[in-house]
Amino acid sequence: MNKIIKYVLYDILRSKIIVAYTLFLLLLSIGLFNLGGSPDKGLLSLLNLVLLTVPLISIVFATTHFYNSYEFMELLVSQPIRRSKIFMSEYLGVSLSLSAAFLIGVGIPVLLFAPGATGLYLVLTGVFITFIFVALAFLASVITRDKAKGIGIALMLWFYFALIYDGIVLFILYSFGDYPLEYATLALTALNPVDLGRVMVLLNLDVSAMMGYTGALYKSIFGSGWGVGIAFMILVLWVLVPLLVSRRAFTRRDL
Amino acid sequence: MKDPSKHIIIWTACAFVLLLTSLQAVGGTLKVCSTCEYRSVKEAVSKAKAGDVVLVDGGTYKESGITITQPIRLIGQNNPVIDGNNSGQIITVASDNVTIQGFTLQNVATSYTRDDAAIRVRQQNNIRILNNTILKTYFGIYLQYSDSIVIKDNVIKGENLGKTESSLGNAIHLYYTDDVQIIGNDVQGHRDGIYLETVKNSKVVRNTSRQNMRYGLHFMFSDNNVYTHNTFRKNGAGVAVMYTTNVHMEYNTFEDNWGAASYGLLLKEINNSFIHNNIFRRNTTGIHMESSSRLDFKNNDFERNGWAIKLMTTCIDDTFRLNNFTGNSFDISTNGNAQHNYFEHNYWDKYTGYDLDKDGVGDVPYRPVSLYSMLVEQVPPSIMFMRSFMVDLLDNMEKVMPSIIPQTLVDEQPLMKKIDHDNNREFVQVLRQTASAPWRER
């Protein structure tokens, strides 16, 4: 398995896209920290960009990578190697390289400019989101053999999590505004990893004090170690569920 | 001709006699210390005649129930401590023209029926309470039905840790007392820092009120008062003022009032008043306004608040000019469409317009109420989507084509650059520091 991961990593490194991604993140982070003035402000702007770009790049890169290495996978399948092993190696290869790019591109500037619990949450959230969206990309890729269709599905997934979902939830909240929605909102947030990551970082920033009564309620939940633990557990679930579903589909499917 | 020297002698003698009698009117001095004639403050005060000075030397006096019935001056030297030992009120003033200066008064227990205080004044005029330190008391300074009062440079510190709001008293509590000067006091750890009920024609200047359980400053039915250069910091619910007209609030700082129900300044039914040159910094809500009309907001700075101003539709004819709004999550939020308030020449850091004719005024109007802030006002849980991409998108769409946000709440002439309010706070701070006694905690 390690050998396959190594080949996958070589392959990714050769494509140079990952280097460009690292540089892009690095420039963005350093730029924002230097622009924002206070480190808190920098973290906040960085959070917005991370939650928009990291899912998009992860999901598009992982989908294209999956389709591009189809022949390599077919070759491996002809060898006495279990399919789930091949799939997991591909997954780990892609998500580890993207996470490494993220850790260098965002983790190092955060460590330099805004070290602390909130910075750690931001970096952890970014890494989790990378893993989650690579898993979702693989799910999109195993659904269809057609590359264009696969990328289309991946983009739709990104669009859904980054934009449409929030719109739907806001609409629901607005329509049912007469009911007590505090805990329903909490549950709805957990159903979108991007929102979950955003809320977790936001509530650990200074601005959380500015969010009034409901903000205080959520802070009492997410501010505690217990709440953060549960939030990360949910993020782990968000990695595992699409990954296991797609692995199952991959092992059973006619390549 | 008479001898002129005789005249001089007579005049000198007259002057001398006059001088002696006037000295007599000022009165004698009764000294209190462990080796003096009087060993307790109570004894000395009860023996003192009108115009006397009771001079208390350093040391600890375990006393309570001291009642001043004559116009005297009670002065502490070398910081004497009067320890009430939780056995009731320490000093009761039952005479006009009394000065209490330079004491440390401590330990007055909570008393729900009597409202015990360190210094209590009832129906007396011309009282001066200066340079005292009041520690761990139920009420600190409590005045009712009195006039012409000076409360200056006192430090009043309570302990509110683990206590409920109802078991705490106010640091400075005034009821039906007019013409008061509250200057340079440092009050903390009580229920309300400064509580004024039906207090008129008074001045509240250079006080610091912090970490009180409820309000830093709380007044009702107190017309024609001036509040300047005060700092209200980290109070449980900020500052709340109600049912009053003609208030001047200038050069005050409202900061760090964080919490679920916390305001920098809550205005309820305040009319015809001026709120100028104040700083509102890091409050959950900078100003919450209800049923307040004809207020003039000018030269204020709103920095990094959750909501800079919550303007309820019950407010009419309020004017906001030349204020800075920077780094607030929401600049203005409101609960309805009808708006009869006037915004002009404010600086908004969220303004994205342009200034083609370079006159410093933006060419397109700014609408400080965002769609999202309206949504949050109606459905509080939607605060969870703060800074979500969707929210930014909706806000921008609404900004381009406003349809839901109030049409009339608009700054037609927003400024392009932040206004530099020359509030001279540094100068004031230097003054304050040099004025403070060295033993005070700073």
ipTM of the complex: 0.81
Identify whether residues B304 and B168 lie together within a single domain: no
Condensed to tens digits (0 to 9), the pLDDT of residues B131-141 reads 999 999 999 99
Is 70 exceeded by the pLDDT of residue B439?
A: no
Nearest to A213 among B378, B380, B391 (CB): B380
As given in the structure block, the two tokens for residue A111 are 């460590």
Measured distance CA(A101)–CA(A97) in Å, rounded: 6
Range ranked top by mean pLDDT from A75-79, B32-36, B67-71: B67-71
Q: What is the pLDDT of residue B18?
A: 56
The answer as to whether B388 is a domain residue is: no
Q: Which of B306, B388, B389 sits opposite A211 (nearest CB)?
A: B306
User: Is residue B433 over pLDDT 70?
Assistant: no
pLDDT at B428: 47
- The pLDDT tens digits of the residues spanning B62-113 come to 999 999 999 999 999 999 999 999 988 999 999 999 999 999 999 999 888 8
Largest CA distance in chain A: 61
Which residues sit opposite B248 in a β-bridge? B226, B274
Q: Do B325 and B303 form a contact (C-beta atoms < 8 A)?
A: no
The pLDDT value recorded for residue A212 is 67
Q: Could you tell me which residues of chain B have a Cβ less than 8 Å from any Cβ in chain A? A: 258-261, 282, 284-285, 304-307, 327, 329, 375-376, 378-391, 393-394
Does position B22 have pLDDT exceeding 80, yes or no? no
Last residue of a domain, one of B226, B248, B268: B226
Helix (H) or strand (E) holding A169: helix A165-175
Beta carbon pairs, A and B, within 8 Å: 95
Give me A86's structure tokens.
């091949």
3-state SS, residue A224: coil
pLDDT band of residue B436 (cuts 50, 70, 90) is: very low
- Rounding to the nearest 10 degrees, give the CA dihedral for residues B15, B17, B19, B23: -170
Residues B221 and B307 in one domain: no
In a domain, B176, yes or no: yes
Domain-embedded: residue B2: no
pLDDT averaged over every residue in chain B: 87
| CB environment B132-144: b (16+ within 10 A), e (fewer) | bbbbbbbbbbbbb
Nearest 10 degrees: Cα torsion B354, B356, B357, B359: 20
Q: How many CA atoms lie within 13 A of B351 on its CB side?
A: 29
B217 lies in the same domain as B258: no
Per-residue model confidence (pLDDT) at position B69 = 94
Please check whether residues B210 and B242 belong to one and the same domain: no
- The pairing of beta strand B172-175 with beta strand B125-130: unpaired
Are B386 and A167 inside 8 Å of each other by CB? Answer: no
Task: Give tens-digit pLDDT for B181-200.
Answer: 999 999 999 999 999 999 99
Above 80 in pLDDT, residue B5?
Answer: no
**Is B259 a domain residue?**
yes
Which residues in A192-217 are b (16+ Cβ under 10 Å) and which e?
A: bbbbbbbbbbbbbbebbbbbbebbbb
Residue B354 sits in the same domain as residue B266: yes
The domain that holds B211 is classified in CATH as 2.160.20.10
Domain that holds residue A165: 2-252
pLDDT at residue B342, rounded to an integer:
93
Neighbours of B424 (CB within 10 A): 10
**Chain A closest-CA separation from residue B369 CA (Å):** 16
One domain for residues B326 and B363: yes
Per residue in A106-137, pLDDT tens? Answer: 999 999 988 888 888 899 999 999 999 999 99
End of a domain among B226, B249, B283? Answer: B226
Nearest CA in chain A to B394: A167
Q: Domain check: are B248 and B358 in the same one?
A: yes
Residue B244 and residue B198 share a domain: no
Two tokens, residue B231:
């700092």
The verdict on B51 and B94 lying in the same domain is yes
Model confidence over B361-373: pLDDT tens digits?
999 999 999 888 8
Given pLDDT bands bounded at 50, 70 and 90, which one contains residue B23? very low
Residues contacting B222, CB < 8 A, separation 6+: B196, B197, B198, B199, B200, B202, B244, B247
| pLDDT given for residue A207 in this prediction | 64
Distance from CA of B329 to the nearest CA of A (A): 7
The pLDDT of residue B13? 63
- Output the CA–CA distances (angstroms, integers) from residue A67 to A3, A63, B74, B293, B355, in the order listed: 20, 6, 92, 67, 51
pLDDT band at A202 (very low <50, low <70, confident <90, very high): confident
Find the radius of gyration of the CA atoms of chain B: 27
Q: How far is CA B350 from the centre of its chain?
A: 32
> How confident is the model over B248-265, as a mean pLDDT?
88
- Out of A201-215, B145-159, B421-435, least confident range: B421-435
**Does residue A37 register a pLDDT over 80?**
no
Q: Are B273 and B245 in contact (CB under 8 A)?
A: yes
What end-to-end distance do the CA atoms of chain A give, in Å? 20
**How high is the pLDDT of residue A127?**
95
Domain boundary among B207, B226, B245: B226
Give A189 to chain B, closest Cα distance, Å.
8
Give which of A109, A119, A113, A151 is closest to A22, Cα–Cα. Answer: A109
Out of A44, A169, A215, the one facing B383 most closely (by C-beta) is A215
Residue B113 lies in a domain: yes
Task: Note whether A109 and A34 are within 8 A (CB).
Answer: no
Q: Based on the structure, what is the number of domains in chain B?
A: 2
Residue B127 forms beta bridges with which residues? B98, B149
Q: What is the 3-state secondary structure (H, E, C) of chain B?
A: CCCHHHHHHHHHHHHHHHHHHHHHHHCCEEEECCCCCECCHHHHHHHCCCCCEEEECCCEEECCCEEECCCCEEEECCCCEEECCCCCCCEEECCCCEEEECCEEECCCCCCCCCCEEEEEECCEEEEEECCEEECCCEEEEEECCEEEEEECCEEECCCCCCCHHHCCCCEEEECCEEEEEECCEEECCCCCEEEECCCCCEEECCEEECCCCCCEEEECCCCCEEECCEEECCCCCEEEEEEECCEEECCEEECCCCCCCEEEEEEEEEEEEEECCEEECCCEEEEEECCEEEEEECCEEECCCEEEEECCCCEEEEEECCEEECCCEEEEECCCCCEEEEECCEECCCCCCCCCCCCECCCCECCCCHHHHHHHHCHHHHHHCCCHHHHHHHHHHHHCCCCCCCCCCECCCECCCCCCCCCHHHHHHHHHHHCCCCCCC
How many angstroms separate the CA atoms of B66 and B64, rounded? 6
Residue B350 lies in a domain: yes
Other residues' Cβ atoms within 10 Å of the Cβ of residue A59 = 28
The number of helix segments (H) and strand segments (E) in chain A equals: 13, 0
Distance separating alpha carbons of residues B421 and B438, to the nearest angstrom: 32
Name the least confident of A29-43, A53-67, B294-308, B350-364.
A29-43
Range of the domain at B323: 237-369+406-437
Give mean pLDDT, residues A143-148.
90
Which residues of A have a CB under 8 Å from any CB of B? 41, 44, 47-48, 51-52, 162-163, 166-167, 169-170, 173-174, 177, 181-182, 184-186, 189, 195, 198-199, 202, 207, 209-218
CA distance A180 to chain B (A): 9
The number of folded domains in chain A is 1
pLDDT of B323: 95
pTM: 0.82
